[in-house]
Structure 1
Amino acid sequence: MDSPSSEVKVVSECFVKPKTMPEKWKEPYHLSPLDHVMLSMHYIQMGLLFLKPSIISDSDDPISPKDFMQTWLQKLKDSLAATLVHFYPLAGRLSTSKSDDPRSYVVFVDCNNSPGAGFIHAKSNISVSDVVESKYVPLVVQSFFDHHKAVSHDGHTMSLLSLKVTELVDGVFIGLSLNHAIGDGSSLWQFFNSLSEIFNAQETNNVLLKNPPVLERWFPKGYGPVHNLPFTHSDEFISRFESPVLKERIFHFSSQTIRSLKTKANQECGTATTIISSFQSLAALIWRCITRARKLPYDEETRCSFAANNRARMDPPLSLNYFGNCISAIRSMTVKSGELLGNDFGWAALKMHQAVIGNTSEEISKTVEEWLKSSFIFHLETLLGSMVVHIGSSPRFEKYECEFGMGKAVAVRSGYGGKFDGKISANAGREGGGSIDLEVCLVPEFMYALESDQEFMSFVSSS
């Protein structure tokens, strides 16, 4: 499975517009400072794998798989059009307006001059078991998503949202690619859940969503839309990170294991008042074990970070349904490899806890103020450092709650976007109950060493 392009063939592709458009679609949809920094980041690519249902019919003539897929695809397309009514900026394109007198450089969403969101139907000759039972995530999974290797600035010519349906021999994969300048992981899964909600509604018109998105963009107090980025051309702030050859593997941690890790971390952290969370405990474990797998010299520095949803941390807090970017990378203190591995597990977990409590509204405001003084764009290669461990996504996102007439998804998978050596994505385990799946990306040498790490593998469950 090293040639994904030969295993996935596009059957059809089109653009989908919202069923109806609000008056605001004629106006420029401005990006916040927290959105602008993402212009050079990859599209977010997340998707769900479903088993095709048994084809049954009340009549004497069974429904053919072909007829089922045609009906199902049309319903999904109609549901997308209805969902875009609530998320209308996703049907737009990025646009840049420049002038010299007065000097101005602004990137915004143009909802007026766009063909809509992407909708692709593809087929593959592989089966569900080829995806979920392989030791490593097959390379073909990258072809289950549109906008391969695209960065957010490409939204000037590419759709800001693309939905790709790949029909497997016995399954269906729904892959979403979301422009990172338009939203973060919370935004993507809010859209995915809304699409599922509308798909399962008896009538797609005028559905009142349980969690309607808050589309009004956030700007710091006293500021409005950004009209003067310090650039004259996109070449000055766009770069294209190419990841090395990676091995990707899903490691499963049962709810019982997660509880035991939390207990162990709190027993060893050395303070009776601190309460270290389950996720902080798991982060400490993976940080220590990957550092050991990399065989770093004792004096080499390493750190662990993870993406944090800041909506509730803002002052005043933003709605949890705020649609856009509102995240930061919470970073542990940089420590020497020998110090991290020379101390016990609780010591590392305490470092993660301290990083989390340090992510205050004051720190977030400080970052925004720095951006307003000197605008910058994130570049993946400069954010990383060679020996970082970074955890993205979240087990709190309601991923397995998304259903599209085929029952509960059998797996969550992601695309090429944003991956590098040491990138980890955290998902809730399919069985729920606090279980967690970690999608770990490492260069082959480090992956093989991690798989031989007795401490790490003692916590990994077989299912």
Structure 2
Amino acid sequence: MMSSPNVELISECFIKPQHPIEESKQNLLDNLKRSLSVALIHFYPLFGRLVTQKTHDPHSYVVFVDCSSNSPGARFIYATLDMTISDILSPIDTPFIVQSLFDHHKAVNHDGHTMPLLSIQVTELLDGVFIGCSMNHSIGDGTSYWNFFNTWSEIFQSQGHGHDHDVPISHHPIHDRWVPESCPLINLPFKHHDEFISRFEAPKLRERMFHFTVESIAKLKAKANRESNTTIISSFQSLSAFIWRSITRARGLSHDQATSCILTINNRTRMQPPVAKDYFGNLIETVSGKSTAGELLDHDLGWAAMKMHLAVANHNHTVVQQSFNEWLQSPVVFQASRTYDPYTVMISSSPRFDMYGNEFGMGKAVAVLSGYANKFNGKVTSYPGHEGGGSIDLEVCLLPHIMSALELDDEFISAISVSNPLC
């Protein structure tokens, strides 16, 4: 049971086409619904609900997905917002109104017993359209999420070319469950869901999107490898180390304060044999570089980047199996408030996901934004840059005074650039 506390909330913003408004709006909604229905034939767990089955003697507490015909299915919502794209994308900080673009605001995974595992909210702006997708994180990870979203887009574009149910798709989801050999039915050590549900409330945060060009990232990579006298440190490992050092410096931590940089990592390619990239489910884990604040800042970028490289490189099949076996011996449900401390930098998602290749009859998306879910002081979400080519956007969430300090950090500011797709 994958137990991130909140559902995955991602929206894509498109410029509204210049056609007769009512006709184009209805056509868009009809085509979105039709293509979504076809996509759900392939990704059928998304129209189910979570079900808990428990017995007292012997004790059994099992959670599973019920995809029977009795399920109410996925949800599709149309909404309007009297704002422009610029009203949302132009402010320095991501405005709170973005949270209203998602149906599952502040939901947790366990709510999948009564709420849809997938909900689509189409919000019409004065000059644009947001397509907000909420997916229960117990059903799939980021790879699964974007495989679904990309497939939905592919089916949308293929409408009118034959029967809808015969539309060929590039990535057929694999639903056969991956479990280690001799893995028993996962029996959770609980009697009631109140024992493990935690509705995390984020403190007041500032959220900003920082853009790193291909050239800027290349400089960070070259610097990290030069300082480490190696060529093995990747671009993303260099960027991760850079943001870790920058946020730690902005926090003004004491010299001996422990700090860490955590990355989410895809286990599919780590397994022997590898698990197919189209596997639909959760095969993610976290790896981390650790240090004290003083040690991290006294050393150079290369030192920190090498820590991140080793954390990734050492994460192999044996480590994954050991981690899973340990969890089986003592199952726990993940809770953000008990996992991340105020000194952590946690980087999730991936700039490798195809976020800007989706097409819903309105051209390329002008922005990708996320909702409230899984955000806390030190949370960083990575996206591909709008112009592509290896550029990266990082959505950084920090307490207001820490964000203000980061904005005054000359080393950090020199590495970023302003990027507004409307300019």
Tell whether 2:32 aligns with 1:41. Answer: no
Corresponding residue to 2:156 among 199, 209, 213: 199
The answer for the alignment partner of 1:457 in structure 2 is 413
State how far apart, in whole Å, the 1-side matches of 2:367 and 2:167 are.
Answer: 28
Partner residue of 2:173 out of 199, 213, 217: 213
Query: Which secondary structure does the structure 2 equivalent of 1:307 belong to?
Result: strand
Q: In structure 2, how many angstroms separate the alpha carbons of the residues matched to 1:337 and 1:224?
A: 42
User: Which residue does the alignment assign to 2:219?
Assistant: 260
Task: Tell me the distance in 2 between the aligned counterparts of 1:225 and 1:67.
Answer: 52
Please give the alpha-carbon distance, in whole angstroms, between the structure 2 residues aligned to 1:305 and 1:371.
19
Tell me what 1:291 maps to.
Answer: 248
Instruction: Supply the distance in 2 between the matched residues of 1:99 and 1:129 (Cα, whole angstroms).
Output: 54
Letter in 2 for 1:324: G
Q: Distance in 2 between matches of 1:178 and 1:149?
A: 12
**2:269 is matched with which residue?**
312
The CA distance in 1 between the partners of 2:407 and 2:99, in whole Å, is 23
1:120 aligned partner? 77
* Contact 2:2–2:139 (CA under 8 A) maintained in structure 1: no
Q: Please tell me whether the aligned partners of residues 2 and 282 of structure 2 are also in contact (alpha carbons under 8 angstroms).
A: no
Question: Which residue pairs with 1:332 in the alignment?
Answer: 289
1:107 aligns with 2:63: yes
Give the whole-Å Cα distance in 2 for the aligned partners of 1:206 and 1:109.
26
Which residue pairs with 2:335 in the alignment? 379
Q: CA deviation at 1:315?
A: 2.3
Work out the CA distance in 2 between the residues paired with 1:103 and 1:136: 49
Q: Map Cα deviations across residues 423-447 of structure 1 (whole Å, 9 max, x no partner).
A: 0010000111110000000010000
- Structure 2 segments unaligned to the other structure (5+ residues): none
TM-score of the two chains, using structure 1 as the length reference:
0.88
Q: CA deviation at 1:200?
A: 0.4
Match of 2:381, SS state, is strand
| Residues 397-412 of structure 1: pairs in structure 2 closer than 5 A | 397-412=353-368
Aligned counterpart in structure 1 of residue 197 of structure 2, from 238, 261, 267: 238
Pairwise CA RMSD of aligned residues? 1.0
Secondary structure class of the residue paired with 2:245 = helix
Cα distance, 1:345 vs structure 2 = 1.1
CA distance in 1, matches of 2:218, 2:275: 31
Correspondent of 1:161 among 110, 118, 142: 118
One-letter amino acid matched to 2:203: P
Which consecutive residues of structure 1, in runs of 5 or more, have no partner in the other structure? 1-35, 56-63
Q: 2:397 maps to which residue?
A: 441
SS in structure 2 at match of 1:198: helix
Q: Structure 1 residue 180 and structure 2 residue 137: aligned?
A: yes
Q: Which residue of 2 aligns with 1:275?
A: 232
Which residue does the alignment assign to 2:379?
423
Q: Deviations over 1:102-141 (max 9, x none)?
A: 3221100111231100111010011011122111111000
Question: Structure 1 CA distance, aligned partners of 2:201 and 2:339?
Answer: 14
Q: Contact (CA 8 Å) 2:262, 2:287: kept in 1 or not? A: yes
Alpha-carbon shift at residue 253 of structure 1 (Å):
0.5
Secondary structure of 2:377 counterpart: coil
Q: Distance in 2 between matches of 1:276 and 1:307?
A: 17
Answer yes or no: is 1:347 the counterpart of 2:309: no
1:248 matched to 2:219? The reply is no
Matched, 1:130 2:87: yes
| Cα deviation, residue 316, structure 1 | 2.1
> How big is each residue's C-alpha offset from its partner over 1:117-175, in whole Å with a ceiling of 9 and x where there is no partner?
01110100110111221111110001101111111011000000011101000000001
The more displaced of 94-103 and 46-55 is 94-103
1:80 to 30, 36, 50: 36
Q: CA deviation at 1:310?
A: 1.0
- Paired letter, 2:80: K
Deviation sequence 1:29-50 (CA, Å, 0-9, x none)? xxxxxxx141x51001011000
Does the CA contact (< 8 Å) of 1:253 and 1:437 recur in 2? yes
Query: What is the SS of the residue equivalent to 1:109?
Result: strand
Please list the CA deviations of residues 185-233 of structure 1 after superposition, one character each: whole Å capped at 9, or x if unmatched. Answer: 111111100100000003422222101111111111112542x211111
Q: Are the equivalent residues in 2 in contact too, given 1:37–1:376 (CA < 8 A)?
A: no
Where 1:232 maps in the other structure, the secondary structure is coil
User: What is the alpha-carbon distance in structure 2 between the residues aligned to residue 218 and residue 381 of structure 1?
Assistant: 29
Paired with 1:69 and 1:54, the residues of 2 have a C-alpha distance of 11
Quick one: distance in 1 between partners of 2:302 and 2:147?
Answer: 34
Query: Who is 1:4 aligned against?
Result: none
Corresponding residue to 2:388 among 432, 451, 455:
432
Q: Structure 1 runs of 4+ off > 4 angstroms?
A: none
Q: d(CA) in 2 for partners of 1:402 and 1:37?
A: 27
Distance 2:145 2:278 in 1: 11
Task: Indicate yes or no: 2:54 matched with 1:98.
Answer: yes
Aligned residue pairs total 415
CA shift digits 1:7-29 (9 cap, x unpaired): xxxxxxxxxxxxxxxxxxxxxxx
Given that residues 219 and 225 in structure 1 are in contact (C-alpha distance below 8 angstroms), is that contact kept between their aligned partners in structure 2? no
SS across alignment from 2:342: coil
